[in-house]
Amino acid sequence: MQCTEKTTTMPLLGDKFPQMTVLTTRGEMTLPDAYAGKWFVLFSHPGDFTPVCTTEFVAFQKVYDRFRALNCELIGLSVDQVSCHLKWEEWIKEKTGVEVEFPIIADTGAVAKTLGLIHPGKGTNTVRAVFIVDDKGLVRIIFYYPQELGRNMDEILRSVEGMQLSDKNKVSMPANWPNNELLGKDHVIVGPPKSVDAIKKRVAEAKEKGYACLDWWLCHKELKK
Protein backbone atom coordinates (compact mmCIF):
# COMPACT_ATOMS: atom_id res chain seq x y z
CA MET A 1 0.00 0.00 0.00
CA GLN A 2 1.27 3.44 -0.91
CA CYS A 3 -0.28 6.45 0.83
CA THR A 4 -0.07 9.65 -1.20
CA GLU A 5 -0.63 11.85 1.82
CA LYS A 6 0.58 11.66 5.40
CA THR A 7 -1.97 10.46 7.92
CA THR A 8 -0.98 10.70 11.55
CA THR A 9 -4.28 9.56 13.02
CA MET A 10 -7.06 7.28 11.88
CA PRO A 11 -9.83 9.04 9.91
CA LEU A 12 -12.79 10.28 11.92
CA LEU A 13 -16.43 10.75 10.95
CA GLY A 14 -16.70 13.48 8.34
CA ASP A 15 -13.05 13.17 7.30
CA LYS A 16 -11.98 12.47 3.74
CA PHE A 17 -11.07 8.82 3.39
CA PRO A 18 -7.24 8.66 3.17
CA GLN A 19 -5.86 8.55 -0.36
CA MET A 20 -4.12 5.21 -0.85
CA THR A 21 -3.10 2.79 -3.56
CA VAL A 22 -3.78 -0.83 -2.64
CA LEU A 23 -3.18 -4.26 -4.14
CA THR A 24 -6.34 -6.36 -4.31
CA THR A 25 -7.68 -9.60 -5.76
CA ARG A 26 -9.02 -7.47 -8.63
CA GLY A 27 -5.75 -5.68 -9.28
CA GLU A 28 -4.31 -2.39 -8.07
CA MET A 29 -6.83 0.22 -6.94
CA THR A 30 -6.63 3.79 -5.67
CA LEU A 31 -9.01 4.67 -2.87
CA PRO A 32 -11.30 6.48 -2.60
CA ASP A 33 -10.98 7.47 -6.28
CA ALA A 34 -11.85 4.00 -7.57
CA TYR A 35 -15.36 4.48 -6.21
CA ALA A 36 -15.88 8.11 -7.23
CA GLY A 37 -19.61 8.84 -7.33
CA LYS A 38 -20.40 5.69 -5.33
CA TRP A 39 -20.65 4.75 -1.69
CA PHE A 40 -18.43 1.93 -0.50
CA VAL A 41 -18.07 -0.27 2.56
CA LEU A 42 -14.50 -1.23 3.46
CA PHE A 43 -14.45 -4.02 6.01
CA SER A 44 -11.43 -5.67 7.59
CA HIS A 45 -11.24 -9.23 8.89
CA PRO A 46 -8.65 -10.89 11.17
CA GLY A 47 -7.48 -13.46 8.62
CA ASP A 48 -8.22 -15.78 5.71
CA PHE A 49 -9.22 -19.39 6.39
CA THR A 50 -10.77 -18.52 9.74
CA PRO A 51 -14.28 -19.65 10.74
CA VAL A 52 -16.09 -16.39 11.58
CA CYS A 53 -14.51 -14.53 8.66
CA THR A 54 -15.61 -17.24 6.25
CA THR A 55 -19.22 -16.93 7.37
CA GLU A 56 -18.98 -13.15 6.98
CA PHE A 57 -17.65 -13.28 3.43
CA VAL A 58 -20.43 -15.65 2.42
CA ALA A 59 -22.94 -13.32 4.09
CA PHE A 60 -21.53 -10.18 2.44
CA GLN A 61 -21.61 -11.83 -0.98
CA LYS A 62 -25.20 -12.99 -0.54
CA VAL A 63 -26.35 -9.40 0.00
CA TYR A 64 -23.93 -7.81 -2.49
CA ASP A 65 -26.78 -7.07 -4.91
CA ARG A 66 -28.61 -5.19 -2.16
CA PHE A 67 -25.56 -3.01 -1.58
CA ARG A 68 -25.18 -2.35 -5.29
CA ALA A 69 -28.85 -1.37 -5.48
CA LEU A 70 -27.88 1.42 -3.06
CA ASN A 71 -25.02 2.53 -5.36
CA CYS A 72 -22.64 1.02 -2.81
CA GLU A 73 -19.65 -1.29 -3.36
CA LEU A 74 -17.86 -3.68 -1.01
CA ILE A 75 -14.13 -4.13 -0.46
CA GLY A 76 -12.54 -6.45 2.11
CA LEU A 77 -9.14 -6.31 3.79
CA SER A 78 -6.78 -8.35 5.92
CA VAL A 79 -3.04 -8.64 6.46
CA ASP A 80 -2.70 -11.59 4.07
CA GLN A 81 -1.10 -11.98 0.65
CA VAL A 82 -3.16 -11.84 -2.56
CA SER A 83 -2.37 -15.52 -3.21
CA CYS A 84 -3.87 -16.41 0.16
CA HIS A 85 -6.99 -14.36 -0.57
CA LEU A 86 -7.38 -16.05 -3.95
CA LYS A 87 -6.99 -19.54 -2.51
CA TRP A 88 -9.52 -18.74 0.19
CA GLU A 89 -11.97 -17.48 -2.45
CA GLU A 90 -11.53 -20.79 -4.29
CA TRP A 91 -12.18 -22.72 -1.07
CA ILE A 92 -15.33 -20.71 -0.33
CA LYS A 93 -16.72 -21.36 -3.80
CA GLU A 94 -15.85 -25.07 -3.66
CA LYS A 95 -17.24 -25.68 -0.18
CA THR A 96 -20.22 -23.29 -0.08
CA GLY A 97 -21.07 -22.62 -3.72
CA VAL A 98 -20.67 -18.86 -3.15
CA GLU A 99 -18.34 -16.92 -5.46
CA VAL A 100 -16.86 -13.77 -3.90
CA GLU A 101 -17.21 -10.99 -6.47
CA PHE A 102 -15.86 -7.97 -4.58
CA PRO A 103 -12.14 -7.16 -4.21
CA ILE A 104 -10.08 -8.00 -1.12
CA ILE A 105 -7.10 -5.83 -0.19
CA ALA A 106 -3.81 -7.62 0.52
CA ASP A 107 -2.36 -5.40 3.24
CA THR A 108 1.26 -5.30 4.36
CA GLY A 109 0.18 -3.54 7.54
CA ALA A 110 0.29 0.01 6.17
CA VAL A 111 -3.46 0.23 5.52
CA ALA A 112 -4.25 -1.27 8.91
CA LYS A 113 -2.03 1.34 10.57
CA THR A 114 -3.57 4.21 8.61
CA LEU A 115 -7.11 3.15 9.43
CA GLY A 116 -6.47 2.10 13.03
CA LEU A 117 -7.33 -1.57 12.49
CA ILE A 118 -4.77 -3.08 14.88
CA HIS A 119 -5.93 -2.91 18.51
CA PRO A 120 -3.16 -4.21 20.81
CA GLY A 121 -5.66 -5.43 23.38
CA LYS A 122 -7.10 -7.78 20.75
CA GLY A 123 -3.86 -9.19 19.38
CA THR A 124 -1.86 -8.46 16.22
CA ASN A 125 -4.56 -9.26 13.63
CA THR A 126 -6.89 -6.64 12.21
CA VAL A 127 -10.12 -6.27 14.15
CA ARG A 128 -13.48 -6.46 12.38
CA ALA A 129 -13.83 -2.83 11.31
CA VAL A 130 -16.37 -1.33 8.93
CA PHE A 131 -15.88 2.02 7.20
CA ILE A 132 -18.91 3.37 5.35
CA VAL A 133 -17.76 6.00 2.87
CA ASP A 134 -20.11 8.18 0.84
CA ASP A 135 -20.08 9.15 -2.83
CA LYS A 136 -17.94 12.20 -2.04
CA GLY A 137 -15.25 10.09 -0.35
CA LEU A 138 -16.20 11.13 3.19
CA VAL A 139 -16.22 8.71 6.10
CA ARG A 140 -19.79 8.58 7.39
CA ILE A 141 -19.87 5.60 9.79
CA ILE A 142 -17.23 3.48 11.55
CA PHE A 143 -17.97 0.20 13.35
CA TYR A 144 -15.53 -1.93 15.35
CA TYR A 145 -16.18 -5.54 16.34
CA PRO A 146 -13.94 -7.96 18.25
CA GLN A 147 -12.68 -11.11 16.56
CA GLU A 148 -15.25 -13.19 18.43
CA LEU A 149 -18.36 -11.48 17.00
CA GLY A 150 -19.41 -11.71 13.36
CA ARG A 151 -21.07 -8.69 11.76
CA ASN A 152 -24.76 -8.27 10.99
CA MET A 153 -25.32 -7.57 7.28
CA ASP A 154 -28.78 -6.11 7.80
CA GLU A 155 -27.39 -3.48 10.18
CA ILE A 156 -24.71 -2.42 7.71
CA LEU A 157 -27.27 -2.22 4.90
CA ARG A 158 -29.63 -0.29 7.20
CA SER A 159 -26.82 2.13 7.99
CA VAL A 160 -26.02 2.85 4.34
CA GLU A 161 -29.68 3.26 3.40
CA GLY A 162 -30.44 5.38 6.46
CA MET A 163 -27.57 7.78 5.78
CA GLN A 164 -28.57 8.13 2.13
CA LEU A 165 -32.17 8.94 3.05
CA SER A 166 -30.97 11.33 5.73
CA ASP A 167 -28.81 13.19 3.20
CA LYS A 168 -31.55 13.33 0.59
CA ASN A 169 -34.40 14.38 2.89
CA LYS A 170 -32.54 16.29 5.65
CA VAL A 171 -34.00 14.10 8.39
CA SER A 172 -32.69 11.85 11.16
CA MET A 173 -33.42 8.20 11.77
CA PRO A 174 -34.82 7.06 15.13
CA ALA A 175 -33.71 3.97 17.04
CA ASN A 176 -34.39 0.72 15.20
CA TRP A 177 -35.44 2.60 12.05
CA PRO A 178 -37.46 1.76 10.00
CA ASN A 179 -39.41 0.06 12.80
CA ASN A 180 -39.24 2.45 15.73
CA GLU A 181 -41.45 1.46 18.65
CA LEU A 182 -42.27 5.03 19.70
CA LEU A 183 -42.77 6.89 16.43
CA GLY A 184 -43.99 4.10 14.17
CA LYS A 185 -42.90 2.19 11.08
CA ASP A 186 -41.14 4.22 8.38
CA HIS A 187 -41.19 7.38 10.51
CA VAL A 188 -38.19 9.71 10.57
CA ILE A 189 -37.34 12.68 12.76
CA VAL A 190 -37.64 16.21 11.44
CA GLY A 191 -34.88 18.55 12.57
CA PRO A 192 -35.86 20.77 15.53
CA PRO A 193 -36.49 24.53 15.09
CA LYS A 194 -33.53 26.77 15.87
CA SER A 195 -35.26 30.01 16.88
CA VAL A 196 -38.37 31.26 18.68
CA ASP A 197 -39.97 32.25 15.37
CA ALA A 198 -39.16 28.84 13.93
CA ILE A 199 -40.86 27.16 16.90
CA LYS A 200 -44.05 29.13 16.27
CA LYS A 201 -43.91 28.29 12.57
CA ARG A 202 -43.35 24.60 13.31
CA VAL A 203 -46.39 24.45 15.59
CA ALA A 204 -48.55 26.29 13.05
CA GLU A 205 -47.46 24.24 10.04
CA ALA A 206 -47.03 20.81 11.61
CA LYS A 207 -50.38 19.39 10.47
CA GLU A 208 -50.10 20.91 6.99
CA LYS A 209 -46.69 19.32 6.48
CA GLY A 210 -47.78 15.97 7.83
CA TYR A 211 -45.72 16.17 11.01
CA ALA A 212 -46.72 14.43 14.22
CA CYS A 213 -45.19 16.12 17.26
CA LEU A 214 -44.65 14.96 20.82
CA ASP A 215 -43.38 18.49 21.40
CA TRP A 216 -41.99 21.24 19.17
CA TRP A 217 -38.49 19.73 19.41
CA LEU A 218 -39.59 16.15 18.63
CA CYS A 219 -41.57 15.98 15.42
CA HIS A 220 -41.66 13.10 12.97
CA LYS A 221 -43.21 12.10 9.69
CA GLU A 222 -43.67 9.03 7.56
CA LEU A 223 -40.98 8.48 4.93
CA LYS A 224 -41.10 5.15 3.15
CA LYS A 225 -37.91 3.66 1.80
Q: Which of 201, 218, 219 is nearest to 210 (CA)?
A: 219
Choose the CATH number for 171-222 among 3.40.50.2300, 3.40.50.2000, 3.30.1020.10, 3.90.550.10. 3.30.1020.10
CATH 3.40.30.10 assigned to domain 2-152? The reply is yes
Angle at 88 between CA 64 and CA 154, to 5 degrees: 25
Give me the pLDDT at residue 107, please. 87
pLDDT means per 10 residues in the chain (225 residues)? 52 95 96 97 92 96 98 93 96 97 91 82 76 98 92 97 97 97 96 93 90 94 88
Which position among 53, 72, 84, 213 bears the catalytic label? Answer: 53
Position 7 scores a pLDDT of 40
Whether 53 is catalytic: yes
Prediction pTM value: 0.91
Q: Hey, where are the domains in the chain?
A: 2-152, 171-222
pLDDT tens profile 143-202: 999 888 999 999 999 999 999 999 999 999 999 999 999 999 999 999 999 999 999 999
